[in-house]
């Protein structure tokens, strides 16, 4: 178990406060008091509250990517691997809904456009090698028909993330509604079709997220 005076211990204390009070309502002094540490100890590890959140996010996302990289070594075809990557990521998000709520509220703020852009670019950088390996395998298996693996991997990720910007408005809705679910399902279906065409895969073979997981994720994000 991490001691409260260590970096991990402080992050764990901050996580509890972010989840219970919200990121914006949690001050550095709140974290210092709850962790029972000196102010200098906090600033020894973190430049600011935003820096603490960034380090917390990096640690959590690293755990997700470790799960995803294990999928690459499984003895299954490329389409199953790709779908498993999507399902693993969406399930992880639904199981870590409190963290996702903190992040979504943080990055949706107009004052955090630079942070949102940085996080999106980091996601592309981390996910591109995963997509490249799966696409190359799919080509070798005859399941995909991609001429430029690197370009296609980058294009798919960039398109998904950029189009996702349009979906952020639904996450600022005052409450969870069936219309929001329908809009997300429509977006996801269209993206699945686009991916199949870009990869040269058979129609109906790419599945981004299970409907039950999607509803759980959206409901969790939109609930107060």
Query: In CATH, what number is assigned to the domain containing residue 34?
Result: 1.10.10.60
Give yes or no: residues 28 and 136 share one domain: no
Give yes or no: residues 28 and 110 share one domain: no
Residue 18, judged by CB atoms within 10 A of its CB (0-12, 13-18, 19+), counts as buried
Task: Give the C-alpha separation, 25 to 32, whole Å.
Answer: 14
Domain count, the chain: 2
What is the pTM for the complete model shown? Answer: 0.80
pLDDT of amino acid 110: 56
Give yes or no: residues 11 and 68 share one domain: no
Token pair for 13: 């204390």
Task: Give the C-alpha separation, 124 to 73, whole Å.
Answer: 21
> In this structure, what CATH number is given to the domain that contains residue 137?
1.10.357
Give yes or no: residues 74 and 140 share one domain: yes
Q: Minimal CA–CA distance to 31: which of 21, 43, 17, 45?
A: 17
Give yes or no: residues 82 and 28 share one domain: no
Tell me the per-residue pLDDT of 55-105, one tens digit each, with 9 for 90 and over.
888 888 888 889 999 999 999 999 999 999 989 988 888 888 777 777 777
String of DSSP letters for 158-201: HHHHHHHHHHGGGGG-SS--HHHHHHHHHHHHHHHHHHHHHHTP
> DSSP label at 48?
S
Residues spanned by the domain of 13: 1-46
Give yes or no: residues 24 and 124 share one domain: no
Tell me the per-residue pLDDT of 130-187, one tens digit each, with 9 for 90 and over.
999 999 999 999 999 999 999 999 888 877 666 655 555 566 566 667 777 788 888 8
* Cα distances (angstroms) measured from residue 158 to each of 27, 132, 165, 173: 35, 14, 11, 25
Give yes or no: residues 37 and 56 share one domain: no
Give yes or no: residues 33 and 122 share one domain: no
Give yes or no: residues 166 and 178 share one domain: yes
pLDDT of amino acid 175: 67
Residues 99-124: what's their mean pLDDT?
A: 69
- Which residue among 46, 61, 77 closes a domain? 46
Give yes or no: residues 132 and 38 share one domain: no
Give yes or no: residues 22 and 63 share one domain: no
Other beta carbons within 10 angstroms of residue 123's beta carbon come to 15
Backbone phi, psi, residue 51, to 5°: -65, -40
Give yes or no: residues 95 and 126 share one domain: yes
């Amino acid at each position: 178990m991490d001691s409260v005076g260590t970096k991990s211990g402080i992050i764990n204390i901050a996580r509890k406060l972010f989840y219970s009070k919200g990121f914006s309502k949690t001050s550095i002094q709140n974290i210092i008091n709850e962790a029972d540490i000196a102010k200098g100890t906090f600033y020894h590890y973190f430049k600011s509250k935003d820096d603490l959140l960034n380090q917390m996010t990096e640690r959590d996302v690293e755990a997700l990517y470790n799960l995803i990289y294990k999928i690459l070594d499984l003895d299954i075809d490329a389409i199953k691997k790709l779908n498993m990557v999507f399902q693993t990521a969406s399930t992880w998000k639904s199981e870590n809904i409190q963290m996702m709520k903190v992040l979504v509220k943080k990055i949706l703020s107009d004052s955090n456009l630079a942070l949102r852009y940085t996080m999106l670019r980091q996601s592309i950088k981390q996910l591109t090698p995963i997509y490249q390996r799966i696409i190359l395998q799919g080509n070798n298996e005859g399941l995909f028909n991609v001429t430029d693996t690197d370009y296609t991997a980058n294009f798919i990720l960039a398109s998904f993330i950029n189009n996702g910007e349009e979906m952020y408005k639904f996450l600022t809705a005052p409450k969870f509604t069936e219309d929001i679910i329908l809009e997300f399902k429509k977006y996801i279906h269209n993206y699945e079709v686009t991916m199949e065409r870009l990869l040269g895969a058979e129609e109906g073979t790419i599945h981004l997220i299970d409907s039950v997981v999607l509803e759980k994720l959206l409901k969790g994000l939109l609930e107060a």
